[in-house]
Amino acid sequence: MRRSWLAVLLLGSTLTVACGQGQVVVSAEVEVPNPEGEGMVVRPIADTEIQLIPFDRDLVFDSLSQAFPTPEPAIPADLLAAQEAIAVAQEEWRAAEETWGQGRARLQEITEEMEGLSRGEAQYVALFREFQDVEGRVARAERVKDDAFARFTELQEGYIQRADSMRLMREQWGDEAFAAAGDIFIMKTRESGREILSDTTDAAGMAMFEAPPGQWWVHARHELPFSELYWNIPITVERGAPVQVSLSPATAQVRPKL
């Protein structure tokens, strides 16, 4: 049976990829507060750059850090504790605001349900009692909300100035200690005979690479309010079955940030 030219070309293309390249499939996800209630939900990390690097970038930075005459300025423990206190206060404020908002919505619903009812009707009486009960809860939730916001604001104001000063100190140290990192990256890339590959995650948190077989490192970052998720995962790419890489809090190094 004769094959069409299109079939021959497609078969040739598939064989070329299979023989020369391996495939890496990366999925990225993170847990976030449930916008519809309590607890956490998993969401994809979209529009984030993923790099496939043919050498271990951490070894470069570790070597430069060790060679630099002074150590990296550490974030003071009390500043990290302040971050935690701010995060707790912010969550208390968010939860109280949600409770307050739900209560106000129910008051509106009760008001609408009471319209057209006679005050002597049993349904009206039941709704009126519920209104009084919910109104009291809303008033208490509003006080909790306002107190939580005041506490959050006070903690944040005391934190910002110290955090800015420490951030500047650490950035200056990094600029000096890692000044040669770019040149080393270029040298190591040339030595590997490969290139640094990049892709951006789509709406589903997915990124895909076609890469030559060998040792690679999957690198990415995702910023949180007071920390970042950092990935530098070693993988071995081979021809044939794709390499599946999961970027999640479980596979990340959590790094404090200011």
68 by DSSP, 3-state: which?
coil
- Across the chain, mean pLDDT equals 89
Domain spans in the chain, listed from the N-terminal domain onward: 21-54+194-256, 77-176
Calculate Rg over the CA atoms of the chain: 28
The tens digit of pLDDT for each residue in 55-110 reads: 999 999 999 999 999 999 999 999 999 999 998 999 899 889 989 999 999 999 99
The yes-or-no verdict on residue 31 having pLDDT over 80 is yes
Distance in angstroms (rounded) separating the CA atoms of residues 14 and 216: 23
Q: What is 21-54+194-256's CATH topology? A: Immunoglobulin-like (2.60.40)
Put simply, whether the predicted model's pTM sits higher than 0.75 gets the answer yes
Look at residues 225, 165, 209, 253 and name the one whose alpha carbon lies nearest to residue 51: 209
**Contacts for 154 with CB less than 8 Å, ≥ 6 apart:** none
Give the rounded distance of the alpha carbon of 239 from its chain centre.
Answer: 31
Query: Residue 248 in contact with residue 217, Cβ under 8 Å?
Result: no
Q: Is the pLDDT of residue 254 over 50?
A: yes
